[in-house]
Amino acid sequence: MIRKIVTIDEDKCNGCGLCVPACAEGAIRIVNGKAVLAADNLCDGLGACLGECPQDAIRVIEREADAFDEEAVEQHLQEVGRPALHAPAAAPPPHHPAGGGCPGSRVVSFAAPPAAAAATDTRDATPRPSRLGQWPVQLHLVPVNAPYFRGADLLIAADCVPFAFAGFHEEMLAGKALVVGCPKLDDLRAYVAKLTEIFRSNDLKSITVVKMEVPCCTGIVMAAREALAAAGREIPFHEITVGIQGNLT
């Protein structure tokens, strides 16, 4: 079957091993100083390991591969002495992960903070203005030479950030041009190519990348840094991480 699956560039891999614990299915191992895919049926293709590779050696591609087999994963994890995907927690945690090995896709519930829980009905309050000054915003859709990029402070945001961070408009977006994308679901190579052209073609004043704390979201930072290097420009670069409960980490 044709499906999404991880591929590892042996020439880029330095054998650091950071991707190994990032893969909850145990699909990656180090062999002769290089990371390799242990078996196709152990990889779910979601790419939780992407954000852990400092060499940008891991990508998700589509190719002919055996179907992901969760029973094979559980047997493999038992053989190598790693926790099962659905191992019960020793004590009830503040939030409950369920269903799946990727930290960015696990189902999580948490109580609203006291201030939000106690908030009164604000439907009659004066609405806050949007700080968005352009359209479109999706990285695949924005023109490379859009006028709002000229001399701009550029904000590159993972697309879950505005939902998690309550002050996104006021504290991050105000006064900036914006592009958004998902490093887990989209092609990072296409992101690198598009960002390279944006960086090369516009006199940007600064670049700020804001991502979620989940490992795979680091891919958007890696794409931006690679694009900046490819563009051959020196532009001030800032990185911000948002927790899944909306805190800045």
Q: Which CATH class is domain 130-242?
A: alpha beta
Tell me the C-alpha distance between 83 and 85, whole Å.
6
d(CA 177, CA 155): 6
- Can you give the pLDDT at residue 104? 57
Q: What is the pLDDT of residues 187-246, one digit of tens each?
A: 778 899 999 999 999 999 999 999 998 877 888 998 899 899 999 999 999 999 999 889
| pLDDT at residue number 233 | 92
Q: What is the pTM of this model?
A: 0.62
Looking at residue 111, its pLDDT comes to 66
Q: Which residues of the chain have pLDDT under 70?
A: 51, 86-125
Count Cα atoms within 13 angstroms, Cβ side, for 73.
24
Please tell me the predicted confidence (pLDDT) of residue 227: 92
What is the reported pLDDT for 106? 60
User: Using H for helix, E for strand and C for coil, what is the string for 138-164?
Assistant: ECCCCCCCCHHHCCCEEEEEECCHHHH
pLDDT for the residue numbered 34: 87
pLDDT at 19: 84
Task: Kindly give, in sequence order, each residue whose CB lies less than 8 Å from that of residue 111, ignoring residues fewer than 6 positions away.
Answer: 117
- Specify the fold of 2-80: Alpha-Beta Plaits (3.30.70)
For helices 188-201 and 218-231, give the axis angle rounded to 10 degrees. Answer: 40
Q: Give pLDDT, residue 89.
A: 44
Q: Where in the chain are the domains?
A: 2-80, 130-242
